[in-house]
Amino acid sequence: MKSKILIVVSLLIIVPVTTLWAQAPRFSRLELIRNCDCEQRNELDEARQADFAVRMAPAFYFVDSLTIVSPPRERSIGKALLLSAVIPGAGEFYNKSFLKGLAFLGIEAGAWAVYAVYTQRGNDREDAFEAYARTHWSEDKYWASLARLSGCDVNNRPCLRDYESTTFSHFLPDERNQTYYENIGKYDQFNAGWDDSISGEAKERDSANRALYTRMRKKANDQFKIATYGTSIVLINHVISALHAAYTTYKFNREIKASMGMEMQRYDQELVPALAMKMSW
């Protein structure tokens, strides 16, 4: 009788315990993912996409090895170099060096601004001295002076041209181009053409208008010279930015990143903590 009672009591204890154990959830990663609700599954997906793998070294962290993503990919040196060669600062932005990228981009914008501003100033001064020359310098007076010196008729232009080419080192262009405006102020043979020349002859330096005109041309040329500094800075900025971007990329690819901490490793369908160290270079 006692044995039968013992058997019944044992069954009453073992059966409920066995049932509870069979219904208890498994704490494996697969079961957690399979049994979680939609909100939990979305959180797991977001964790994967967030790329929470350690990118700074050393760092201590707890992660699930099933959600670890690969280390950062190497960046392209050629791409960084080409980007900054075309647009200074673009390669730095590619390398996430935003302040340096803005610096190179700012230098580029400033250099082009210098070029534009001083080119316009040079053009304005150029228009001014050309207008001054048209007012105060006369071709007729110049050829009349050569006619007196050569004995040629003032209307015999071929004869005057021959004398000009054999006597002087420069000539008066047929068109009013850059050489035309340079020669009439720079060389003494054109002195006779200025309306305030005392002697009215070539090879003299007795015209105040010519002296003023020369200074006007110099100021215009100074503006154009400063404008060329702007283009030089542009070229140098492209080269330096491209080399800097390439070097920064090379340094990033060579830099060793280490991370150490505890990882949850899967073992026999269960998650267990493990000490791990990760290195990439």
Sheet holding 270-280, edge to edge: 62-64, 257-267, 270-280
Let me know: does 108 contact 89? Beta carbons within 8 Å: yes
Quote the pTM value: 0.62
Dump pLDDT digits (tens) for 179-238: 999 999 999 999 999 999 988 888 888 999 999 999 999 999 999 999 999 999 999 999
Q: Cα–Cα distance between 128 and 124 in angstroms, integer? A: 6
Model confidence at 45, in pLDDT bands (50, 70, 90)? low
- Torsion angle defined by CA atoms of residues 123, 127, 132 and 134, in that order, rounded to the nearest 10 degrees: 130
Q: What is the reported pLDDT for 30?
A: 47
C-alpha of 10 from chain center: 83
Upper half-sphere CA count for residue 243 (Cβ side, 13 Å): 6
**Mean pLDDT in residue range 258-275:** 58
pLDDT per residue over 102-156, tens digit each? 999 999 999 999 999 999 999 999 999 999 999 999 999 999 999 999 999 999 9
Q: Give the SS3 label for residue 257.
A: strand
Look at 280 and 234; give whichever has higher pLDDT.
Answer: 234
**Per-residue b or e along 114-125, where b marks 16 or more CB atoms closer than 10 Å to that residue's CB:** bbeebbebbeeb
State both tokens at 244.
């800097």
DSSP characters over 31-70: HHHHHS-HHHHHHHHHHHHTT-S--SSS---EEEGGGPPP
- Output the CA–CA distances (angstroms, integers) from residue 198 to 110, 178, 202, 217, in the order listed: 48, 27, 11, 22
